[in-house]
Chains A and B, each alone.
Chain A
Amino acid sequence: METKLMGVGETIGLIHDGDSVTLSGVSMVRAPMAFVKEIVKAKRKELSIIDREPGIDFDILIGAGAVKRVRFAMLGLELLGLAPNFRRAAEQGEIEYLETTCGAITNGLRAGAMGMPFVPVKGIIGTDLLPLHEKKGTWRVIDDPFSGEKIVAVKAIIPDVAVIHVQKADKFGNASIEGARFEDVYKAKSAKTLIITAEEIVDTKYFVGHPERNTIPYFYTAAVVHVPKGAYPTACYNYYPPDYGFVKNYVSMCRAGRFDEFIERWLRGEEDEN
Chain B
Amino acid sequence: MKIKIADIMIKAMAQTLADGDTVLHGLGSPLPAIAMHLAKASHAPDLVFFPVSEGLDPNPDRYRLRLSSADPDHFVGAKAVIELIETFDLASKGKLTAMFLGGAQIDSRGNTNLTCIGDYQRPKIKLPGGAATSFLTPLVKKLILWTTHHSKRVFVDRLDFLTGLGYEEGKDKEVTIITDKAVFMVEKGYLVLKSVHKDVSVKDVVENMSFAPIVGKYGVTTTPTSEDMVLIRNIDPDGIRFSEFEG
Contacts and interface: CB of A to CB of B under 8 A. Distances in A.
Contacts of B161: 128
B116 to A, nearest CB: 8
B71 A235 contact: yes
A78 B65 CA distance: 13
Given A79-B28, A126-B138, A99 B70 contact: no
Among all A-B residue pairs, the 6 with the closest Cβ atoms: A76-B128, A103-B135, A180-B54, A90-B126, A237-B72, A101-B134
A76 B29 CA distance: 13
Interface stretch (A21-29, A141-149, A257-265): A21-29
Interface in B74-110: 75, 81, 83-85, 88, 91-92
B85 A183 contact: yes
Contacts of A42: none
Contacts, number: 176
B115 A103 contact: no
A179 B26 CA distance: 17
Interface residues of B, number: 53
A93 B137 CA distance: 29
Given A79-B68, A103-B91, A180-B70, 17 more contacts: A27-B68, A73-B131, A75-B128, A78-B28, A91-B123, A93-B122, A104-B134, A106-B84, A110-B85, A123-B134, A123-B138, A127-B134, A127-B162, A128-B120, A129-B115, A180-B75, A244-B66
A193 interface: no
A132 interface: yes
Nearest to A103: B135
Contacts of B135: 101-104, 121-124
A80 interface: yes
Nearest to B122: A93
Contact of A125 (B53, B120, B138): B138
A46 to B, nearest CB: 20
A62 to B, nearest CB: 11
B132 A107 contact: no
B122 A91 contact: yes
Interface string A23-59: 0001111100000000000000000000011000000
Contacts of B129: 72-76, 99
A182 interface: yes
Nearest to A248: B67
22 contacts: A26-B52, A27-B68, A27-B69, A29-B53, A29-B71, A78-B28, A79-B28, A80-B67, A82-B128, A91-B122, A99-B115, A101-B131, A102-B132, A121-B135, A123-B137, A126-B168, A128-B120, A179-B54, A182-B83, A186-B85, A244-B66, A244-B67
Interface in A78-122: 78-80, 82-83, 86-87, 90-91, 93, 97, 99, 101-104, 106-107, 110, 121-122
A18 interface: no
B54 A181 contact: yes
B53 A180 contact: yes
Nearest to A102: B132
Nearest to B112: A127
Contact of B133 (A101, A121, A130): A101
Contacts of A101: 130-135
